[in-house]
Structures are given as structure tokens and as C-alpha cells.
Amino acid sequence: MKICHEHWQQLRWRVCERGLGHLLHHPHGEFEDLTAELCGRRPVPNPFDPLASCREVAESLALARGGLYLNRPGADGRERCPVCELVRCECGEPLALSREEYWPAAIVDTVVKVARGRGLMPRVA
């Protein structure tokens, strides 16, 4: 499975909106690590990437609701987007939001809970 560009951008936007943008892996992260090393500082490891976590949550939810067929390419030969599959799914309880709004928000909410549990963002009282 592979998240489509549209849903990847939605998830990225929601991750930043929820205060996890500073944890995103940046394309030049290795350069920053090397610069820190050359300057005598230790690079700060960040093993938690909110977007990678969103991908894992989306795939897990899609597989639980749709089944293993999602691991096969679609009719067009491309990998299936787990968020698209969740949006198309008619399973579960009625939703307060549209499916297109609900699933990306639910996925990021799950990742926020994980980040809070790891102490990467403040807990809400």
C-alpha cells in the first residue's frame, strides 16, 4: 500500500496543525546531522516520524476493515491508498464528519496520542 499524494498532503497538514511538525523528518536531515558532528555537537536522534506513523496507522486500519486484498495492486496496477480505501469503506458506525474529513483526522489523532505517550508533546489535562 502507498498513501496517495492528496492524502499524504492532508496528513502532513494535519500533523503540523496538531503541533507535530517539528518532529517531521526533513529531506536535509542527514546534512544537519553531519554539520552538527563537524561542529562538535551530537546530532539529536529522532526515531519518531509522525508521517511514517500515520502511514502505519492507516495501513493497519485499512487492513482491519478491508482485508488482505489491499496488499495487491488495484485494477490500474498501482498500489492502493489505505486512506482512499477507508474513505470508500461503508463499514463501522455513522460518522459525524464526512468520511473524507474523518479518516485523516482519526489517523492523526492516533499518532498524537502516541507522541504524547512518548513525551514528545505536552499532555492535555
Q: Which domain holds residue 62?
A: 5-117
- Residues 36-49 have pLDDT tens digits of 566 666 655 667 88
CB 12 within 8 A of CB 55: no
Residue 14 lies in a domain: yes
Integer Cα distance of 115 and 90 in angstroms: 29
Assigned domain for 125 exists: no
**103 domain residue, yes or no:** yes
3 state SS of 5: helix
Please indicate, yes or no, if residue 123 is contained in any of the structural domains: no
Q: Is residue 73 part of a domain?
A: yes
Q: How many domains does the chain have?
A: 1
Segment 8-27, tens digit of pLDDT? 999 999 999 998 887 877 65
Q: How far apart are CA 3 and CA 79, in angstroms?
A: 9
The predicted model scores a pTM of 0.75
Would 78 be classed as within a structural domain? yes
Query: Which amino acid is it at 63?
Result: L
Grid coordinates given for 9: 498532503
CB 54 within 8 A of CB 11: yes
